[in-house]
Structure 1
Amino acid sequence: MELDEDRGLQMSDDTVRKMRVTKIYRENTDRINSMHFSQSGDLLISSAEDDQIVIYDCEKGLQKRALNSKKYGVDLINFTHAKNTAIHSSTKIDDTIRYLSLHDNKYLRYFPGHGGKVTTLCMSPTDDTFLSGSLDKTLRLWDLRSSNCQGLMHLQGKPVAAFDPEGLIFAAGVNNESIKLYDLRSFDKGPFATFRLPYEKDQWASLKFSPDGKLVMICTFGSVTRIVDAFDGTPLQSFVGTPNVQNLHLEATFSPDSQYVFSGSVDGSVHVWNAIKGYKVCVLNGNPHEPVGCIQFNPKYMMMASAHKNMTFWVPHGYED
């Protein structure tokens, strides 16, 4: 299951079509709202509407630990660079971001400032910096070592944001119509590039860079996932899954080699496309009784995780050992 460190994860259409459900975990009593793999790929952390934080051991295929955040609620959970700490947004009391020790379930620091629901939260891939965006129409830049906001950007609408794989720039999607690129070292000077995209009737839910940094994915609260060129903003692909009349956030994810896009759906299946050429590779059948709202591909192992109320692990048939 482990990847070749020199070549990385080399996937093919055949590998993708062999993906099968290998484990289903039923620890949660309500919807899982976010999840995040550790950089080493050996752990997965999830947050849910039942206020549970669950940590999974990806190598052993076991639930490692469950924690509760009953007082503040939990959403948008991210590992930091230390696997025993995480940051998350809150769903109760206020919109403060919280820095949590997973070892003893104690908060190490609070990051107050947002005046509305936090809609995007992401760690830098290289250091202790992280980004948050909110319904208060601001993007904030933070450092884990200080409760004080390191940078504040006022925008014209609700932002979604993501760091590039090198941690040098970040992208902000605003008002479902433009992507702004900022240099982390001089973000206070404003964006160095702005890409205006065709009008999007479906509200943007999240942004992601491809692992090779060449593409930007726009996930929506509809049935469309869009891919644009990260260097000039050219629209490249529009992938349409199953109808999403409930306007759920159906997450999508890149494969670690940036060649494939895996998208959740309302009917419990996972739709897979070739990210570069645009053709649909296959539809993977999962749990037909619940949507796939969260989906992530492991950065180091040949496995994928998807979730709604239950957490599901996938590996290609023949890779189970």
Structure 2
Amino acid sequence: MQCAVFFVFNRDAQMRITSENVGSLQLAKRFRDNSGRVNSLCLAPSGELCVTSSDDDSIHIYDCVQGKVKSKLYSKKYGCDLIHFAHGAKSVLHASNKVDNTIRYLSLHDNKYLRYFIGHTQRVVSLATSPSEDLFMTGSYDGTARLWDLRSNNTQGLLHTSGAPIVSFDPEGVLFAAGIESSMIKLYDLRTFDRGPFSTFNIQHHGEWIDIQFSNDGKLLLVSTRPGSLLLVDAYTGDLKSVLANTGNGAALLKGCFSPDGQFVFCGGIDGCVSIWSSSTGRLLTRLQGHTGPVECVVFNPKLFSLASASSEVGLWLPDDSDK
């Protein structure tokens, strides 16, 4: 699950996002800090830091304003994947891709594990943190989605599903979505999820679902699939608004993302390009060239106007100053 990274230079945070300036994004900097693929990225709430995990068992923390590596840690024994900031920017959660299926809670200050979350019996494929509380959710090949609290080792809630569920919190942290069997989305109220979903949307589309995200206004859901197409779904009605075709294949795990205002969707492709679509029309606006290998994830920094992408290297994209 290769994912995107790093936003540097403190640009005008009030810059309005338009099709013109996202289309002018240029690859401004490359980071070649990993010997293996970057498999996940998370941005700190402030937008000033981001953290990545890699198949080479390393964890990098980047200063997004200065555009440099802040620190580097390792998880050699257990590996690391699906990394997320856990509380502010002082600690992270990450899944394991070696030895066991435990979620680990790591202090970045002293490189010590604060807690272990044990329960999944097969590999964890989805991890989402609440935007408002010390809660997080995981989905696994063991056919369960679990709710956790950072302050307790014990599972706080358990859903049995078919297949490997993918999960995401809404922007308020009140609801969560679970993608089930790559064919349906179930919406739950976090306070009463044990009563079952309050909405179920059946989505008729081929392909394995690998990621699900809400737009920041909560109106849309973006489902990333293997081999690479993206599904735009109305979060209120479940209507499939658009299918965004992409240059994927069965080997690549291409994860898309929204712009902060939800107007645009970004996703990398196996051809080394980053594609940008309009979320309202589903129209492909532009394709940014810069990588030589598959770009499996991209992330837009909501605090600094920049886009990050990762293949075997990490790229930072900034808009052409003439379009400011």
The verdict on a shared fold, with TM-score over 0.5 as the criterion, is yes
Q: Once the two structures are superposed, what CA deviation does each residue of 1:288-308 show, in whole Å capped at 9, x if it has no partner?
A: x21101211112110111112
- Quote the offset at 1:82 in angstroms: 2.0
Q: Once the two structures are superposed, what CA deviation does each residue of 1:244-273 show, in whole Å capped at 9, x if it has no partner?
A: 234311111100110000111001100100
In structure 1, the residue matched to 2:24 is: 18
- Quote the offset at 1:319 in angstroms: 8.3
In the alignment, is the contact (CA less than 8 A) between 2:40 and 2:82 conserved in 1? yes
Q: Once the two structures are superposed, what CA deviation does each residue of 1:29-53 show, in whole Å capped at 9, x if it has no partner?
A: 0111110111111111110000000
In the alignment, is the contact (CA less than 8 A) between 1:37 and 1:299 conserved in 2? no
| Among candidates 311, 314, 319, match of residue 311 of structure 1 | 314
Matched, 1:61 2:97: no
Residue correspondences, number: 314
Alignment of 1:1-321 (within 5 A): 1-4=11-14, 10-198=16-204, 200-242=205-247, 244-287=248-291, 289-318=292-321
Q: Residue 147 of structure 1 aligns to a residue in which SS?
A: coil
Task: Name the CA distance, whole Å, in 2 between partners of 1:118 and 1:319.
Answer: 44
In the alignment, is the contact (CA less than 8 A) between 1:39 and 1:299 conserved in 2? no
User: What residue ranges of structure 2 are gaps of 5+ in the alignment?
Assistant: 1-10
In the alignment, is the contact (CA less than 8 A) between 1:140 and 1:152 conserved in 2? yes
Task: Name the CA distance, whole Å, in 1 between partners of 2:322 and 2:170.
Answer: 30
Task: Name the CA distance, whole Å, in 1 between partners of 2:244 and 2:323.
Answer: 30
Task: Name the CA distance, whole Å, in 1 between partners of 2:80 and 2:268.
Answer: 22
- Quote the offset at 1:92 in angstroms: 1.1
Task: Name the CA distance, whole Å, in 2 between partners of 1:54 and 1:319.
Answer: 32
Q: Once the two structures are superposed, what CA deviation does each residue of 1:8-41 show, in whole Å capped at 9, x if it has no partner?
A: x631111111101111000100111110111111
Q: TM-score, normalised by structure 1?
A: 0.95
Distance 1:103 1:319, change over 3 A: farther
Moved over 4 A (4+): none
- Quote the offset at 1:320 in angstroms: 11
Distance 1:143 1:19, change over 3 A: same
Q: Once the two structures are superposed, what CA deviation does each residue of 1:93-127 show, in whole Å capped at 9, x if it has no partner?
A: 11000000011111000000001100100110111
User: What residue ranges of structure 1 are gaps of 5+ in the alignment?
Assistant: none
What letter matches 2:173 in structure 1?
G
In the alignment, is the contact (CA less than 8 A) between 1:32 and 1:294 conserved in 2? no
Identity of aligned residues (%): 45
Q: Once the two structures are superposed, what CA deviation does each residue of 1:192-245 show, in whole Å capped at 9, x if it has no partner?
A: 1100111x3210010000111100000011121010000110000111112x23
Q: TM-score, normalised by structure 2?
A: 0.95
In the alignment, is the contact (CA less than 8 A) between 2:268 and 2:275 conserved in 1? yes
Between stretches 255-264 and 9-18, larger displacement belongs to: 9-18
Aligned-residue CA RMSD (Å): 1.4
Q: Residue 247 of structure 1 aligns to a residue in which SS?
A: coil
In the alignment, is the contact (CA less than 8 A) between 1:39 and 1:81 conserved in 2? no
- Quote the offset at 1:156 in angstroms: 1.7
